[in-house]
Amino acid sequence: MRMSARRWCSMLVGLWLVSAAAFAADAVKEAPPVKMNSTADHSKFKQLQEKFASGPEVTKACLSCHTEAARQVHRTKHWTWEYMNPDNQQRLGKKNVLNNFCISISQNYPFCTGCHVGYGWKDKNFDFTVEENVDCLVCHDTTGTYKKPGGLAGNPVVGKPLESPPGSGKFINPVDLTKVAQKIGKTSRDTCGACHFYGGGGDGVKHGDMDSSLMAPDKELDVHMDATGLDFSCATCHATSSHDVPGSRYKPAAKEKHSAFIRGKADQGNPATCQACHGNMPHKEKTRLNTHAEKIACQTCHVPTFARGGVATKMSWDWSTAGKKGPDGKHMTKKDEHKHVIYDTRKGDFIVAEKVKPEYRWFNGDIKYTLLSDKVEKSDTPTPINRIGGSATDGRSMIWPMKIMHGNQPFDPVNKTLVMPHTAGNDDIGYWKNLEWEKAIASGMQNMGAPFSGKVDFIKTEMYWPITHMVAPKDKAVACVECHSAESRLKGIDGVYMPSYSNKGWLDLIGWLAAALTLIGVLIHGGLRIVMSGRK
């Protein structure tokens, strides 16, 4: 039996009407609102309804569900502030290294540990095994109200407002722990940035490629984190599992030859590198640049300058000039025309800069620190706080952009070691209050169990900071001519032939001379012809 076309049509129309009516009914009965970025609304949790008197109380509540979380955190650098470099067995981490900014955490724990993911690390006797001392909120706060001021050993202000500094009349309001706990969420540029943007004692001081401008950057400042565009959080690249954030500078990945990672592929390596997503041959139109990428780190071209979000970074810190007081006999600061502090009685002279062109070095990922136990020699050549490995020929190196921080910092000229002074603290030892190096250093070194002769001198140092953040859009990347010219950015880099920069002077000399002689020759020849024909 065959149905006529008309019957088919009328049947279809009927079906359509019925289903349309059904959809209409669905649309009227709207789906109830639901939180889409998580499967749990923490404000509904019974455990989080109480009034918390301290951070550890909140953690206890978190752990009642997230049973493994604290012990996961306990295994990470964020908790231990310690890292064993497997390549050279150096014991690193904030607990052990020193730098040429505020120098070290020794004897300054209550201040420094304002950035520890824990509560109560006020001296070297802190118990790292206590689960409740893990601070969940500092990374998972979404309200922006959770703050850990320096001096409280990683605790937030609770109870009543805290006058800070004492006697100043300025107060820090207590944190509403219940509200913060109920609004817990994923980490963000704000939470990571609360510490990492302020490394070295202030906004943008340390890294140069990380400062508060990255909390809501535009596309030009960072093409990935662009707040109105791709809006990456830190963890989009530093993809974390088991609370262990990958992509540490203690053992960076300098050269990645693989293509982009695919799910399920074994041995995925560091997810925070450019190549983890882009592979190592990402240039589809200008394929010549893929050849460049065999020797040049992505960052070298794609981070044209650092500190370009409006926040200056410190390029140099001279501790030797600290201690000068103002005419009133009090501590003073001097500022440059941009209102950047360039002298502070407690700290000495600074050079700060914005929109800084990096320096470039061959780098293979090896970093060796100068630790307290290493001998140093005072000379005009700066002592490296960290030595980076790399060369044009080792097969593991790429040309990387670097911030090179220059310092002039106290050291022990008798024992020939760097020193760790006690700087912060409202006591009669800390340098920032008392301005006496011997006392401050003796205290800091004693805390580390390190010898100190009692003599103090100053030593020039330098420290390498590989640059990797503040990735510009591709049309703002470093142009060819910035390296392919006499004033090349890569001036002094050996092992690469850069047309327009690396020319053999003698070849050019001979070549141009020969061309000039030819020209002079034909001109004389022609001139003679004219003269001779005139004579006839």
Which residues contribute to the site for another protein (CB under 8 A)? 287-288, 290-291, 294, 479-481, 484-486, 497, 499-504, 507-508, 510-512, 514-515, 518-519, 522, 525-526, 528-529, 532-533, 536
Contact 172/161 with Cβ under 8 angstroms? yes
CB of 81 to another protein, least distance (A): 42
Place of tokens 């327009």: 500
Q: Which CB, 65 or 523, lies closer to another protein?
A: 523
Q: How far is CA 357 from the centre of its chain?
A: 16
CB of 533 to another protein, least distance (A): 7
Cα-only R_g, the chain: 31
- Phi/psi of residue 359, nearest 5 degrees: -95, 160
Helix (H) or strand (E) holding 69: helix 69-74
CB of 283 to another protein, least distance (A): 10
Contact 299/467 with Cβ under 8 angstroms? yes
CB of 530 to another protein, least distance (A): 10
Q: Which CB, 21 or 507, lies closer to another protein?
A: 507
3-state secondary structure 263-292: CCCCCCCCCCCHHHHHCCCCCCCCCHHHHH
Q: Which CB, 22 or 510, lies closer to another protein?
A: 510
CB of 504 to another protein, least distance (A): 7
- Phi/psi of residue 396, nearest 5 degrees: -115, -5
CB of 483 to another protein, least distance (A): 9
The CA distance from 204 to 215, in Å, is 12
Q: Which CB, 289 or 470, lies closer to another protein?
A: 289
CB of 511 to another protein, least distance (A): 4
CB of 304 to another protein, least distance (A): 15
Question: Which token pair is 4?
Answer: 């006529």
Q: Which CB, 9 or 479, lies closer to another protein?
A: 479
Q: Which CB, 233 or 485, lies closer to another protein?
A: 485
Q: Quick one: DSSP state of residue 118?
A: B
Question: What are the helix (H) ranges across 157-296?
Answer: 177-182, 189-196, 234-237, 274-278, 288-292
The CA distance from 453 to 447, in Å, is 15
Contact 374/365 with Cβ under 8 angstroms? no
The CA distance from 523 to 105, in Å, is 76
Contacts of 309 (CB under 8 A, 6+ apart): 211, 212, 213, 214, 217, 221, 470
Q: Which CB, 67 or 503, lies closer to another protein?
A: 503
Q: Which CB, 278 or 295, lies closer to another protein?
A: 295
Q: Which CB, 414 or 528, lies closer to another protein?
A: 528
CB of 280 to another protein, least distance (A): 11
Q: Which CB, 284 or 525, lies closer to another protein?
A: 525
CB of 517 to another protein, least distance (A): 9
306 three-state secondary structure: strand
Of 415, 348, 400, residue with least CA distance to 103? 348
Contacts of 217 (CB under 8 A, 6+ apart): 225, 226, 227, 309
